[in-house]
Copies of this chain bind each other. A is one copy, B any other.
Amino acid sequence: MSKVLERFRPLFQPASIAVLGASNTHGKWGYIYTRNLRDSGFPGALYPVNPKENAVLGIKAFSRVAEIPGPVDLALILLPPPLVEAAVKECLQKPVGAIVVITAGFGELGEEGRRLQEAFAAPARAAGVPVIGPNCMGLVNVLHRLNAQLFYLKPLPGKISILSQSGNLGGNLIRKGMADQIGFAKFLSSGNEAVTTGEELLEYFAEDPETEVLLVYLEGVKDGRRFLEAARKMTATKPIVLLKGGYTAAGVKACASHTGALAGEREVFEAMCRQAGVLRVDDVDDWYYLGTALAGHPLPPGDRMGIVTEGGGLGVIAADACVAQGMQVPALPEEMIAAFNGLMPDRWSRGNPVDTAAGEGKIEALEQMVRSDYFDGIIQLGIAGAGATLQALRAKPEGELSEAERARLRRVEKRVAEELEEAKLLVRLSRETGKPILSADMDTTLSPVAGNPILEYLSAQGILVFRNSFQAAKIMGSLCRYAADRRKD
């Protein structure tokens, strides 16, 4: 195991955890974290530490860390700010392998807070023990069944990890992923980064074999050179999607009071990201959709896009958006037009976008396009509409349906089975050709993944369906730019 993986093993894969400040009082963070640790099915030893309790949530409690009989890999500190310095020193003495200080009220509050923070940071630094926080929300390691987090986050296992200075942003993203049945590997909220910095954690994720795509939210970088080197090392093999807070004077001020970070100059930072091959986004939605797209689709070998649609307007919007994103929407070669004339109704568009005008032949045309040498990727519109209708119909128990409604249900079920076959074919085509096929469907806007058989199948393949063609084109544009950068390296 490499040095950095070994160093952070007690943090991400602890065999034992001490919870300092564990509590039986409902609603307290010391209660919530202990409950989440227990309920996540953590397979190791759990040691609540609280001098006033014999047990917390039915688990034997200890009055001090020193009293814990076995070794302690990870110490989670949830005590009030004045008690944190002594608690960290107690942990270092035990010794423990890693510490997470959840408690807020340090560097983000100004001078006095910075002094309090340094009082526990300095000895930890001297001891060489990783310390996450303070003012953070903890961490999740899905495969290790570790949920040391304020939110109860239990996503499916996946290839995406999150490193976020904001616990809320990362936590919200995982909750979105849980609703979408998208998997994650690890999530760490780094807070004020008093001891262990984002740069060092980036080195960890670069080597972590379970992380294939990393989503980063950060407000400030302490060591620009180290960040750049770690990022460059990582992007040689796996992508980083970065949401940067503190991009404007107002944002910089907000960062200072949020995590105490000194957000730097925009231009310098952007140049650094470009050099390091980091994908930068401004919007939380883009952060999520680009991250999942990188994990779920192959990179396009070029920028020539085929667009396939059942309705004209959405195809037009997609074509405009593709070009605005720097991609090409080439004309269909003559022989393809001739072939499609035999597949599609007379009123088909005879061009790219291929608009079947709500007729037959869409998937057959798509297959010819993606298998040809003329296109590097496909944006296709409409995939799970019958699934959304099925969801709506099933909201009513079948016993209460009228005869006409039951007949409709049977018809919709048949169409859902067809849609599911189409979705399977798209996944297979993308894998066989190594080209991305992004799907968008406005009918799924308010259709949750759970209960829509087509969306459930695609999510299990790591594939999200976009709400509209503009969004699909935007993400395809980012995939193209990233792929082009990778080809240059």
Contact = CB atoms under 8 A, between A and B. Distances in A.
Contacts of A320: 245-248, 250-251, 282
A270 interface: no
Interface in A461-482: 467-471
What class of interface size applies to chain A in its complex with B?
A: 35 or more
Interface string A364-405: 000000000000000000000000000000000000000000
A164 interface: yes
Contacts of A316: 166, 219, 245-246, 251, 254-255, 258
Contacts of A346: 105, 109
B442 A284 contact: yes
Interface stretch (A153-161, A194-202, A348-356): A348-356
Contacts of A165: 313
Nearest to A381: B168
Contacts of A164: 313
A214 interface: no
Contact of A312 (B257, B328, B351): B257
Interface string A307-351: 100011111110111111000110100000000000000110111
Interface of A: 104-105, 108-109, 164-169, 172, 175-176, 179-180, 217, 219, 243, 245-251, 253-255, 257-259, 282-285, 307, 311-317, 319-324, 328-329, 331, 346-347, 349-353, 355, 357, 442-443, 445-446, 448, 467-471
13 contacts: A165-B313, A167-B311, A168-B314, A169-B317, A176-B446, A180-B446, A217-B313, A245-B316, A248-B329, A251-B323, A254-B315, A258-B349, A283-B321
